[in-house]
Copies of this chain bind each other. A is one copy, B any other.
Amino acid sequence: MSEISTERGRRPGNPRTRESILEAAMAAFARHGYTKTTIRGVAREAGVDPALVMHFFGTKDGLFDAAVREGGIPVTLLREVIDEGVDGLGERLAMRYLRLWEDPELGPRMHAVVSAATSSPAAAGLLKEFMRGQLIRPIADRLEGDDAEERVLMMATQLVGIGLMRYVLRVEPLSSMPLAAVVAHAAPNLQRYLTGTAASR
């Protein structure tokens, strides 16, 4: 470990060095997207040698993985509203999810994750794992019925579609609608997937 030196002479084992690389990576993924972000560019931003970035994170996928896991989306925020129970969950989840997108720090990171997932199978795998662990399973566990998982997945497609069209593609007038109006439109549909009449098969 310690034989790798940095341009600024930081110690590679220093957790603050790792942290500053992660910060630079999150900013780069958010600003340039997954495909155009390079290990070299992140190293330059962080003021370290590219070898040190590879030492900590291995590959660009490893760096992306760490950026999403450690600095990405505060998953506990979703768990909180899920833990309040299934009644009214559609509305609470819509509100919380949209606020994550509107957060000036988190929004660009979520944009970066979605953009990366459509062009990199590794990033797609990561997003899927995140959705499964933090959203799909915790909610499905609270529902009745054989098709609970299917219904939660359908609910997730609605949330993901709003994120993509309102915040990534910025389709008007959807992007300019007040947050509360979007929630009012979407909440009954989200709730129907969760607890409404099961779709006929």
Q: Name A residues whose Cβ lies closer than 8 Å to a Cβ of B.
A: 33-36, 114-115, 117-119, 124, 127-128, 131-132, 149-151, 153-154, 156-162, 164-166, 168-171, 173-174, 177, 180-182, 184-189, 192-193, 199-201
For the complex with contacts A115-B118, A118-B169, A161-B164, 14 further pairs of A-B residues with Cβ separation under 8 Å are A33-B118, A117-B168, A117-B169, A118-B168, A132-B171, A150-B181, A153-B171, A153-B174, A154-B174, A154-B182, A158-B161, A180-B201, A185-B199, A188-B199
Cross-chain contact B171 with A128 (CB below 8 angstroms): yes
A-B contact pairs, 9 of them (CB 8 A): A34-B119, A115-B119, A117-B168, A118-B169, A150-B177, A154-B185, A157-B162, A157-B165, A160-B164
- Say which residue of B128, B162, B192 sits within 8 Å of A188 (CB atoms): B192
